Amino acid sequence: MFTQIGCGFNPTIPYDAQEQAIQKVLRIYSPELLHNNETFHQLLVEKVKIPYQQDGFERSYEVALIDFENPLNNVFLCVNQYTIVEKNQNKRPDVLLFVNGLPLVVIELKNAADENATMRKAFDQLQTYKSTIPSLFTYNAICVISDGMECKAGSVSAGYSRFMTWKTADGKKKHHDLFHS
């Protein structure tokens, strides 16, 4: 999955400590999807602590997974139809957004030309992914659903009613208003 946490934004941390941080993130596993997601979120926000000894005292390297202060130091990748095999099942989410190799955003798109395509069906597809490829959601920060006309975003634990309409940075205009102004 990811091996790019160095990316120039952990320059004072030895390579071995960066590798240990990667292994710590890759070993997040419990049978509870939400527990895994919360564990990862804590590492993402608080950094991955890798202990070491110095002058008889235990200290920790704090390895950042993402450079929040300088976003251009990160590696961004958008992948369409990325195949994930888990529990002997192949699934291909429509779009995955990776930051430094971490699949932080899952986007499920429905065809606007299909009268049966609905936001609910996009949401239901995410639920299917959560049950068949739960490891993807260990690293998830945002889920996005769209019926081709509207976009909504929510967390991995959000129910359908908690997915909210995607808005611009000013918080006033919906995405489709931008194209019809």
The mean pLDDT value for 15-34 works out to 92
Higher-pLDDT residue of 171 and 123 is 123
Model pLDDT, residue 34? 94
Whether the pLDDT of residue 179 is over 50: the answer is no
pLDDT digits 0-9 by tens, 45-92: 999 999 988 888 889 999 999 999 999 999 999 999 999 999 898 999
Give yes or no for a contact between 106 and 140, defined as CB atoms under 8 angstroms apart.
yes
Sign of CA dihedral 139, 165, 148, 176: negative
Helix (H, G, I), strand (E, B) or coil at 72: helix
| Numbers of helices and strands, H then E, in the chain | 4, 10
Whether the pLDDT of residue 180 is over 50: the answer is no
* Options 3.40.30.10, 2.60.40.650, 3.90.1570.50, 3.40.50.300; CATH of 75-179: 3.90.1570.50
**Structure tokens given for 31:** 């049978």
In sequence order, which residues have a C-beta less than 8 Å from that of residue 96 and are 6 or more positions away?
78, 79, 82, 103, 105, 106, 107, 136
Can you say how many angstroms the Cα of residue 64 is from the centroid of all Cα atoms in its chain?
15
| pTM for the model | 0.84
- pLDDT more than 70, % of the chain: 90
Question: Please, which pLDDT band fits residue 181 given cuts at 50, 70 and 90?
Answer: very low
Residue 40 DSSP symbol:
H
First to last CA, the chain: 41
Whether the pLDDT of residue 17 is over 60: the answer is yes
Model pLDDT, residue 44? 95
Whether the pLDDT of residue 173 is over 80: the answer is no
Return the domain boundaries, the chain: 1-73, 75-179
Helix (H, G, I), strand (E, B) or coil at 34: helix
Residue 5 DSSP symbol:
S
Whether the pLDDT of residue 95 is over 70: the answer is yes
Residue 55 DSSP symbol:
T
